[in-house]
Structure 1
Amino acid sequence: MKILITGGKGQLATEFIEYFEKNGIIVNAFSREDLDIRDFNKVYSLIKEIKPEIIINCSAYNNVDGAEREPYLACKDKTE
């Protein structure tokens, strides 16, 4: 089984990665610096290249106060 995880440096992703690796499952984890999920073309290309059976999105915009002050940032598309 091949798994792709976004938000690879975060707490949730770290737990998933540890669990899967302990169980001999191939994990391809990408941090925000490696894969900006707002970039559709890059995400699409990576999925075509890796061909994961499962994708787990652990990416999040977690600046709650910032999202309340500037909600457009929480929903911003990279092309904007």
Structure 2
Amino acid sequence: MPITVDIDVMLAKRKMSVGELADRVGITPANLAVLKNGRAKAVRFATLAALCDVLECQPGDLLRWEAEDAADAEGG
């Protein structure tokens, strides 16, 4: 998937654990793990806003788009 989730980067910058972030955002650690490991198919804007509020960052600090290489795009 061309969307990369950089929650780990912000957690390291803020010296915060996954458990602490989950508690402060109001989601389960399991759901946060799904999001941070790039397995989520969607994220609610309310959740994204809460993450940004707690981590004091912008959505672009947590999510970025990367083009897939030509082999992936052609199915090979």
Task: Give the TM bin, normalised by the shorter chain.
Answer: 0.3 to 0.5
TM normalised by structure 1 equals 0.33
More strand by share: 1
TM normalised by structure 2 equals 0.34
